[in-house]
Amino acid sequence: MTHTQLNTDPDIPKYQNATGKLEYSLTNDYMFRAVMQNNEKMLRGLIGSLLGLTQDEILSVELTNPIILGNALGEKELILDLKINLNRERVLNIEMQVAKREDWPERSLIYLCRIFDNLKSGEDYSNVLPCLHIGIIDFDLFEDKEFYAKYRLMNVESHSVYTSKFGINVLNLRQVEQATEEDRRNKLDLWVRLFKAKTWEELKMLAETSDIAKEAAKSIYAVSEDEAIKLQCEARERYERDWASSYSSGRRTGEKVGIKEGVGSIIKSALSNGKTPEEIAEFNGIPLDEVIKYIEQT
């Protein structure tokens, strides 16, 4: 982040002085987490756009898995999804995932099932809170290249919904040109431009047209001033690069000498990067018992 000559007028937001490339955009999952955790207006705005709700309909937003921003991530915090209790009557799980993962459908289902199990001991099953996992991705998941897809559990013949309490939504940042009129009314196309902005000039231009974009610019500037948070953003980018390299290496090996050896290469590479068996299983879609078996045999 670079600065022009600083303007000391207190009425002019500090981000107006920033120029050049953003060090970390909102597609960096740590930056995304930091901004959303730090700025409730941003979080409320995103939820409103994703669910088609007005701000008057959003009575309360409780982030149930906050982290200490700037601290090194522990094993349980490596997944930087946002778990949210909305209006004390609905549970959301929002995840920023721009690196392509072929196991994303299984991964998202696991996260959804975890938040669906939200009953307290002794409660009736009918009291389970509705749950929705929302993935924000930058790769095409299936052949039907939708911008904002909504998946529900339903009868394959009659299409009658089995339950309205269980679902997955996927916002594909690559397919914004497919946005519907409803998507645009909900400003999802604006969010895509915010997520993918690469320079302060882009961000400031958006901020001139939208209060949410102004909040984004202010928050990104504030977060970017924190050296500890920037280190964690850098660590996340390095982690994703290492994962992608390990995965590609494993796939190439698998193509040459068989799937078993390819999976072994992924596990071996991840172990050399200091990953635990649980992390390897979680991030690569490999059954934990298979990871453990490989370790015991080598």
- Tens-digit pLDDT profile for residues 204-255: 999 999 999 999 999 999 988 899 999 888 888 887 777 666 555 554 444 3
Give the residue, 173 or 240, on which the prediction is more confident: 173
- Give the three-state DSSP class for 68: coil
- Are residues 239 and 232 in contact, defined by beta-carbon separation less than 8 angstroms? no
289 pLDDT band (50/70/90 cuts)?
Answer: confident
Q: Give the angle 285-29-203 at the CA atoms, nearest 5°.
A: 145
- Give the three-state DSSP class for 223: helix
pLDDT in tens, 47-79: 999 999 999 999 999 999 998 888 776 555 556
181 pLDDT band (50/70/90 cuts)?
Answer: very high
- Are residues 25 and 43 in contact, defined by beta-carbon separation less than 8 angstroms? no
Return the H-helix or E-strand segment holding 243: helix 227-257
pLDDT in tens, 114-154: 999 999 888 999 999 999 999 999 998 888 789 999 999 99
* Nearest one of 207, 151, 141, 206 to 175, comparing CA atoms: 141
100 pLDDT band (50/70/90 cuts)?
Answer: confident
In whole angstroms, what is the distance from residue 290 CA to residue 267 CA?
10
Whether the predicted pLDDT of 8 surpasses 50: no
166 pLDDT band (50/70/90 cuts)?
Answer: very high
Q: How many residues does the chain have?
A: 298
Q: What is the pLDDT of residue 249?
A: 53
Question: Which pair of structure tokens corresponds to residue 166?
Answer: 């269980």
Give the residue, 281 or 36, on which the prediction is more confident: 36
295 pLDDT band (50/70/90 cuts)?
Answer: confident
Count Cα neighbours of 92 within 13 Å in the Cβ-side half-sphere: 24
In whole angstroms, what is the distance from residue 4 CA to residue 281 CA?
47
The residue to which tokens 């998507």 are assigned = 183
In single-letter form, the type of residue at position 266 comes to I
User: Chain-wide mean pLDDT for the chain?
Assistant: 84
